[in-house]
Amino acid sequence: MKSDIEIAQEATMLPIKEIAAKIGLEEDDLELYGKYKAKISDEYYQSIKDNEDGKLILVTAINPTPAGEGKTTVTVGLGEAFGKLDKKAVIALREPSLGPCFGIKGGAAGGGYAQVVPMEDLNLHFTGDFHAITAANNLLAAMLDNSMQQGNELNIDPNQVVWKRCVDINDRQLRNIVVGLGRPVDGVVREDHFVITVASEIMAILCLASDYKDLKDRLSKIIVAYTYDGKPVTAKDVKAVGSMAVLLKDAMKPNLIQTIEHTPALVHGGPFANIAHGCNSVKATKTALKMADYVITEAGFGADLGAEKFLDIKCRKAGLNPDCIVLVATVRALKYNGGVAKENLSEENLDALKKGIVNLEKHIENLQKFGVPVVVTLNQFVTDTQAEYEFIKNFCEERNCEFALAEVWAKGGEGGVELAKKVIETIDTKPSNFKPIYDDKLSIKEKIETVAKEIYGADGVTYSPQANSAIKKIEEMGYKDYPVCMAKTQYSLSDDMTKLGRPTDFTINIREVYISAGAGFVVAITGNIMTMPGLSKSPAAFGIDLTDDGKITGLF
């Protein structure tokens, strides 16, 4: 089997104008970025905004393991399968971050014959959205520091600056730094920090904003620091809103590309799900819903993170109502959760499967609490056995879940037809009664504890003194009604990445809490989760190269 990048580079792409025409866009509706990429104009959305919405399908997964789950691959393959069934479908995905591309996770274009293309462009600079977000974030940081340097009229306490700079690379050296060293004209000396771009509040704002007016309103609310007497200082106070909005003007427009089989794909925004809210932009999702009968989107990492935030934050804020959830698992990952070493996952092991399937069971239970019908799919590997399939199928059906195999990695859309038919049947026969897991009126701690107990399965929650103080202050400032965005390891339902399967008898520890007032949620950081990742001993960057004739190799 060829590598993902080899398959993508050999794919025959259609000009993006032809892809756009399939869903009713004309050339004047596009802002072209070369032959195979385009942004969709604001005028086009205005022309379709009164169309009836299509059906919204969320793809999520069990907790990720080294064995792989293939959530994006299934998302793309499912979109291709709808095309095989002559259904008008659009895929809505997140843009990849450079951090994992050069780190350990790799890109986010799908895999095998279920990929979006041009794969190299998407995984690298694409249309410059992340660069615009990085620039807007750091412009705000510069204007904040300049305000302190130029007389500090806002009475900002340098020890209470909470706005962090960002860069879209895994760089642990920048987690904690000192800035302003040198001469007096070189700035106010203070401790500073970096986050990865996908954890920036600007990324969340871009992905939740509905239009330019909403964008500027959200930007104006960003809290960047506190005064010596404890009052919040905002981006509006440092007069940065207009300039930030200008940098984000084009980044607000959804990007249109295609799959290997020419299914349209809107790829826009990319907050991480373990340290941010993990969903593509509201604008891209709403645009897709107006132009297609079926929209297939995904949420990052496992359902305990990405799906919970999609349902509790994105759907709540944007008024979205998902019609079906597809929950992705693999036999290999379930056996890994059952205690099998990675090198032995190719062997049939029903005992381990029975132990590890409790992870899938918990995610099924969680998703059903939101009132949305669930279809479980297995992303197929050649080493899977019929006995393993039958066990998982029966397990799911006993829990009121539909079940289908997905062979999209090897077969593209054809390998997802069974799943697509099952999804359509589920939408047609099982009504969605979507409701978030908690009410807006609960306290911040009650919301955190609801997610911890109901979704993670924790016995309770503990808080650091700093977290307790932060929650008290956030509620006093009037942000009690905001939803919570939990920052937690993706590898376990708990906040301990080593606890696989379905952990019990554990508590969640909240180390830090802060307000993202512009995004409209409260961030609660658990355990030792980092908002700036580091590189591994052997990062993916070691294997990425450019040939003498300009061909990119090593991306995956």
Q: Catalytic residues, which ones?
A: 71, 73, 94, 105, 273, 301, 381, 409
φ, ψ of residue 484 to 5 degrees: the values are -105, 140
Q: How long, in residues, is the chain?
A: 556
In sequence order, the 6+-apart residues with CB closer than 8 A to the CB of 555 are 4, 5, 101, 106, 107, 119, 120, 123, 544
In sequence order, the 6+-apart residues with CB closer than 8 A to the CB of 290 are 45, 48, 49, 51, 53, 54
CA distance 114 to 74: 7
Are 140 and 244 in contact, with CB atoms under 8 Å apart?
yes
CA distance 105 to 555: 11
SS3 31: strand
Structure tokens at 197: 């771009």
Are 167 and 203 in contact, with CB atoms under 8 Å apart?
no
CA distance 297 to 350: 32
Structure tokens at 444: 């911040």
**Alpha-carbon distance values, 510 to 7, 198, 439, 460 (Å):** 44, 21, 20, 11
- The residues with which 344 forms a beta bridge, in sequence order, are none
535 burial (CB, 10 Å; 0-12 / 13-18 / 19+) is middle
- The residues with which 513 forms a beta bridge, in sequence order, are 524
In sequence order, the 6+-apart residues with CB closer than 8 A to the CB of 159 are 190, 191
DSSP string, 477-527: TT-TTS-EEEE--SS-SSS-TT--SS--S-EEEEEEEEEETTTTEEEEEET
Q: How many CA atoms lie within 13 A of 184 on its CB side?
A: 2
Residue type, 151: G
Bridge pairing between strands 30-32 and 38-40: antiparallel
What sign results for the dihedral spanned by CA atoms 526, 531, 536, 541?
A: positive
SS3 462: strand
3-state helix, strand, coil in the chain (%, to 5): 40, 20, 40
Residue type, 94: R
Residue with tokens 């980092």: 530
CA distance 542 to 473: 45
Residue type, 433: N
Are 191 and 177 in contact, with CB atoms under 8 Å apart?
yes
